[in-house]
Structure 1
Amino acid sequence: MTDPLVLGPLLRHVGETTASVWVQTGGTATVTVRSGERSWSARTFVVEGFHFALVLVDGLTAGESYEYIVEIDGAQVWPPAECEYPAPRITTLVKDRPTRLAFGSCRTSVPHDAEHHGSHGVDALRTYAMALADGEVEWPDAIAFLGDQVYADETSEEMREFIGTRRSLDEPPGEELKDFTEYAHLYALAWSEPANRWLLSTLPSSMIFDDHDIRDDWNTSWTWHEEINETQWWHERLVGGLTAYWVYQHIGNLDHDALAADEIWSLLAAGAGDSEVDLTAPLRDLVERNDRHPEVYRWSYTLELGDCRLVVLDSRAARVLEPEARHMLDPAELEWLAEQLTGDVDHLFVGTSLPFLLPPGLHDLEAINEVLAAGRFGGLPAKGAERVRQIIDLEHWAAFQSGFQEVFELVMEVARGTKGDPPATVTFLSGDVHNSYVAEVIDAEQHGAGSRIVQAVCSPIRNPMPKGLRVAMSGFSRSLVRPMRWVASRSRRIPDPAYPWRVTHGPWFDNNLAVVEVRGDGLHLSWYAGEVVDDDHDHPRLREVSTVDV
């Protein structure tokens, strides 16, 4: 018999008076969230034969905490009868409470035993969940997952076993994911471990994709785009991946007003009744249109977090790849970002999976590579640069120089107070690079800024960088900065940074999860890792890796 609750619940967007609770069910059902005498219900919808619901909770009081249960067709399914963790709660935001936000990226879904602790390290998210349950650390208001929640191209043994029940691993795309059904299984592996499942049911989460959610190097360049579209399997992979992203991650990011305006979500309201609405066809159509014309749908969104604002930016699907017009953001996305980047908040956070401020040496390397790959010095160097770009992932903001400069100017407008009172900080929160660090614009006040411009990176949650690459990454933060700047400065096609920055702390390479806490005009950042003590792999202990005050 199919379990009525397949996956979840996940507590997603939470505001001052509203919340959203996501579940995957075993079939057509009515899902109810109940807190005391109050309840809220939603009918499931279906995508590719799978059933889901997002229950919209409203009428709450700011700054209050509500225990809740989940029922499917009137029977309680969460929390389970024998649960070792505290009761799940919805805790609403309030403006006068200083923001505390956890964040991180890059988490592979493998078992939590000695073998996989040796190969993949300890899962920082799972360790953090256990520490929260035991009262060892303070609760954040929310957690932001900044890319690579799932790895569609680097599959675990469990995932490969499932794929093997459906098709031959010798046929393209081999051990990589093929379609929505395989994505559904991958999300189940990522979110079903008991400690993590409990955490996701009681800590609000926001999410954004990065390349591995779809495939390594996704939208790196026009050449990459042409090559991947020549394969027979890519179309179904992309459609399945982004359709799954909409269902499993995206809709939970949106507040109730944004959901109501969403072109796909509005189909549920239009089809409200006793029967399920099947969103398969409209979602597939949307994804196909979005791949051809990124401006037709926006994956970016904004969250109000008490005294702060978090702008979460799509730095993958919104790219313009044509060689003569390369840009990290299409014109509509750039215009939207300009509207969101305003002052009149204590701190402005920009969540982008790819670090905006890379270590300076790596920034210059990517800028050099972009010029070479564009053919400015001939066809042979261009082919070599393109190959290098794809092999070592030279496709961050620095590799889209026009977009980098335009967004930097938007940030400086906010910092200079031309779009409202400048916040104390404008802080980019990012992941992707499998190391963590803090960078800051040097003497920002000399450029008229009333805000400090900061980059904070937390990566990976669980997918450590090979040791051989760590020396090189450290070099790009320190010893290679001047040599790379000298090389970049030799070309008039590579602009000198208008607002230089430096790495102030790091890098460090632990699996970790970060927390940023507002403390008046400043920020307190902490990075936490899990470590196995006395060979107890089931109960790793939380260790503070580093703290930084901004």
Structure 2
Amino acid sequence: MTTLAGDEGPLLVGPLLRHVDSTSATIWVETKDAAEVEIRAFGISERARTFAVHGHHYALIEVGNLAPGTHHRYEVVVDGVVAWPPAGSELPQSRIPTLRPGKPLRLAFGSCRTSVAHDADGHASHGVDALRSYALRMAGKAAPHPDSVGDDDVEEPRWPDLVVFLGDQVYADETTDEMREFIASRRDIEQPPGPELKDYEEYAHLYRLAWTDPINRWLLSTVPTAMIFDDHDVRDDWNTSWTWRQQMEQTPWWHGRIVAGLASYWVYQHLGNLSAAERAEDEIWQRVVAHEGPEELDLSEVLDRFADRVDQHPETYRWSYCRDFDTQARLVVIDSRAARDLGPDRRALLDQTELDWVNSQLEGGFEHLLIGTSLPFMLARGLHHLEAFGEAVAGGAWGGHAAAAGEKLRQAVDLEHWAAFQDTFHAVGKMVTEVASGARGPAPSSVTFLSGDVHHSYVSEARPSRGSALPPLRSRLVQAVCSPIRNPLSPRMRFATAVLSYGVAGPVGRLASLSTKVPDSPLTWRYRRGPWFDNNVATLELRGRGLRMWWLSGVVVDGDHERPRLRKVADYELEA
């Protein structure tokens, strides 16, 4: 069996630095056993008991009374034993960096990261892990790429205030050799669901593989993170359509998968997205806070029932969340997977409850409005038209036989982004243009969608379509995509993606959508940068009412696979 980092001590996964504001921070850990976990940070000491889920032990510690704009080095102590930082570590000590009001916001973002070895074989099969390259540069353990000498973004990197992971943090359906080794050690891998994940225990192991590489583990311990799932966190094409759901629910293993996927997501990802005030309103967290007595609280049955309910009735829980960075920016992170309404008579990317919440969050009064959604709101124009066409055909626009073929095509080539949910696309587009026109308060300088999923990166800018009834827009409308962090397309798939998205799909897609009478979009958009297909991590920095973004990739130099170097792939600037 593979030996994972953490096997030798009381701390299995983490610490992960999660929600941080100007005066408080949240730190998440998984421990080997039930324990009391303490965070020590320059005279500050906060403790929490672990809670259990299916034999695993977790703690989330809230650290308060911190000064704005300060850096606090910290230790993790488990039952009186210092468990972090690791003894003999050559990496900088982990720290809590609180936000300073008025400081220009800098955040990194990206999606789609699979976990394979960081050696020559791993680099040959999956490319260089851009997140790990980023961490090495931040820790001062790797020089910049020779081509980047003199580039401040690479040569003298500055810490982001937040890293936003926009989906596919783990791959539950496309497992690595290490994950398959673990699966085979506990069940017959030839029986359904085969090498895909089956239960909570396998999800817990998958997260350990993803988050315990030493340098990435250090980065996650010292830079605040926010997350949202996408399909591969559960399964490819998750919630594509009513037909897809019916097919999955007829299998003997799907119920266990979705329950484990959502329960583990609440533990490993969602809980840390929330502020202390938001957690206090969470139905599961309230049980943790209310628990008294010497025995560790076991949430296994509670979380399983919760996950089953929110899968069947997504309107009963919200995975989306919102963060304000004073008046400089609002970040709205939208769940575009679990909140879908896929009833036989209705098809929406966001159910009405979710749509109403999004509507309440998209408003002016900020210098910048940032919208995080794993799926790009603005795809390549041709692909946008093809997805709209696919939805219409699968919905019966050309009759029953064509509808069945349309459904097969939709699942086969992943026609399931915002464009394939035209009602929701138009509803959110209307909200966004109202913000940009000043109808919802003072118009921001920019409204920017941050997305991943599509395994290529680009920047698009939108404007009202010719002849549309939209009022003049005062905000720039931008779509920025960073995908993948580490899971590149093969050369053949890159070519196919380029042809389908940027070549013949343009005129063909437009004609196809017209043939099914798909309503015209009030917006049109075109590319400002891209596409490119590198493994990469993007950084966004707000500069007053201006905005700048750049994308960094890891490159092996002189055969040093242990320390790949950062190289800039692209940049984009929106001037005030």
Name 2:349's counterpart in structure 1: 328
Match in the other structure for 2:137: 131
User: Which whole-Å CA distance do the structure 2 matches of 1:4 and 1:201 have between them?
Assistant: 16
Q: Distance in 1 between matches of 2:504 and 2:108?
A: 31
**Superposition RMSD on alpha carbons, in Å?**
1.5
In 2, the alpha carbon distance for the partners of 1:2 and 1:252 equals 26
User: Which of 493, 501, 511 is 2:525 aligned to?
Assistant: 501
Q: Deviations over 1:426-446 (max 9, x none)?
A: 100000000000011136997
Asked if residue 207 in structure 1 is aligned to residue 227 in structure 2, the reply is yes
Gaps in structure 2 of 5+ consecutive residues: 1-6, 141-154
Counterpart in 1 of 2:276? 256
| Shift of residue 62, structure 1, vs aligned partner | 1.3
Give 1:111's match in structure 2, choosing from 109, 117, 132: 117
Tell me, yes or no, if structure 1 residue 465 matches structure 2 residue 485. Answer: no
From the superposition, tell whether residues 393 and 211 of structure 1 become closer, same or farther in structure 2 (CA, over 3 Å): same
- The CA distance in 2 between the partners of 1:199 and 1:272, in whole Å, is 34
| Paired position in structure 2 for 1:35 | 41
The correspondence of residues 268-417 of structure 1 with structure 2, limited to 5 A, is: 268-306=288-326, 307-417=328-438
Displacement of 1:292 in angstroms is 1.1
In structure 1, the partner of 2:476 is 452
1:425 maps to: 446
SS where residue 552 of structure 2 aligns? strand
Which of 418, 421, 437 is the aligned partner of 2:458? Answer: 437
Deviations 1:446-472 (A, max 9, x none): 742211110000000000012223234
Which residue matches 1:529? 553
Indicate if the aligned counterparts of 2:383 and 2:506 stay in contact, CA closer than 8 A.
Answer: no
In the alignment, the residues of structure 2 paired with residue 274 and residue 99 of structure 1 have an alpha-carbon distance, to the nearest angstrom, of: 43
- Helix, strand or coil for the counterpart of 2:360? helix
1:304 shift after superposition:
2.0
- For normalisation by structure 1, the TM-score amounts to 0.98
Structure 1 position 489, deviation (Å): 5.2
SS in structure 1 at match of 2:568: strand
Distance in 2 separating the partners of 1:515 and 1:157: 31
Deviation at 1:479, TM superposition (A): 3.6
Q: Which amino acid aligns with 2:542?
A: V
Give the whole-Å Cα distance in 1 for the aligned partners of 2:478 and 2:536: 19
Q: 1:66 aligns with which of 66, 72, 93?
A: 72
Measured against aligned partners, the alpha-carbon deviations of 1:292-317 in whole angstroms (never above 9, x if no partner) come to 11101110011223421111110000
Indicate conservation of the 8 Å contact 2:163/2:223, yes or no: yes
Distance 1:482 1:140 in 2: 37
Q: What is residue 102 of structure 2 aligned with on the other side?
A: 96
Match of 1:539 among 550, 563, 574: 563
Q: How many Å separate the matches in 2 of 1:492 and 1:261?
A: 45
Separation (CA, whole Å) in 2 of partners of 1:535 and 1:389: 42
Structure 1 position 89, deviation (Å): 0.8
Do the aligned partners of residues 267 and 450 (structure 1) sit closer, same or farther apart at CA in structure 2, a change above 3 Å counting? same
Identity percentage over the alignment? 54
Q: Is residue 516–residue 525 contact of structure 1 (8 Å, CA) maintained in 2?
A: yes
Please report how far the alpha carbon of residue 136 of structure 1 lies from its aligned counterpart in structure 2 after TM superposition.
3.8
Unpaired stretches in structure 1, ≥5 consecutive residues: none
CA contact (8 A) 2:464 2:522 kept: no
Deviations 1:145-173 (A, max 9, x none): 00000000011111001001100111100
CA deviation vs aligned residue, 1:60-95 (integer Å, no higher than 9, x gap): 111111111110112111111211111111111122
Query: Is the contact made by 1:323 and 1:374 (CA closer than 8 Å) also made in structure 2?
Result: no
- Residues 195 and 471 from structure 1, CA distance in 2 versus in 1: closer, same or farther, beyond 3 angstroms? same
Distance 1:437 1:382 in 2: 32
Cα distance in 2 for residues equivalent to 1:457 and 1:81:
39
SS at match of 1:442: strand
1:53 lines up with 2:73 in the alignment: no
1-side partners of 2:441 and 2:169: how far apart? Answer: 35
Give the 3 Å change call, closer, same or farther, for CA 486–355 of structure 1 in structure 2: closer
Q: Is the 8 A contact 1:477 1:503 kept in 2?
A: no
Q: What does residue 474 of structure 1 align with? A: 498
CA contact (8 A) 1:2 1:26 kept: no
Shift of 1:353: 0.3
SS in 1 for 2:523: coil
2:3 is matched with none
Instruction: Give aligned pairs, total.
Output: 550
Distance 1:267 1:283 in 2: 11
Q: Which amino acid aligns with 2:268?
A: Y
Structure 1: distance between partners of 2:496 and 2:126: 21
Which one is further off, 280-289 or 121-130? 280-289
Residues 269-278 or 120-129, more deviating: 269-278
The amino acid that maps onto 1:4 is P
- Deviation by residue 1:345-381 (Cα, 9 ceiling, x = unmatched): 1111000000001111110010000001112211221
Aligned residues of 1:489 and 1:496 also touching (Cα < 8 A): no
CA–CA distance in structure 1, aligned partners of residues 96 and 108 of structure 2: 17
SS of aligned partner of 2:246:
helix
8 Å Cα contact 1:518-1:524 kept in structure 2: yes
- Which amino acid is the alignment partner of residue 424 of structure 1? S
2:193 to 170, 173, 178: 173
Question: Normalising by structure 2, what TM-score?
Answer: 0.93
Instruction: Output the amino acid matched with 2:559.
Output: D
Q: What's the CA shift for 1:488?
A: 3.8
Q: Which amino acid aligns with 1:187?
A: Y
Q: Which amino acid aligns with 2:391?
A: E
- Residues 163-220 of structure 1: per-residue CA shift (max 9 Å, x gap): 0110011110000000000000000000000010000000000000000000001000
- Find the residue that maps to 2:549 and give its secondary structure: strand
Q: Which moved more, 1:507-516 or 1:477-486?
A: 477-486
Contact 2:70 / 2:97 at 8 angstroms: preserved in 1?
A: yes
Asked if structure 2 preserves the Cα contact closer than 8 Å seen for 1:318 and 1:329, the reply is: yes
Separation (CA, whole Å) in 2 of partners of 1:165 and 1:481: 46
**Which stretch shifts more, 250-259 or 519-528?**
519-528
Conserved in 2, the CA contact under 8 Å of 1:527 and 1:546? yes
Give the deviation of 1:133 after TM superposition: 0.7
The answer as to whether partners of 2:382 and 2:510 remain within 8 angstroms in 1 is no
Q: Partner letter of residue 473 of structure 1?
A: T
Task: After TM superposition, give the deviation of residue 323 of structure 1 in Å.
Answer: 4.1
* SS of 2:427 mapped into structure 1: helix
In structure 1, give the amino acid aligned to 2:105.
T
User: How far 1:476 sits from its partner (Å)?
Assistant: 5.1
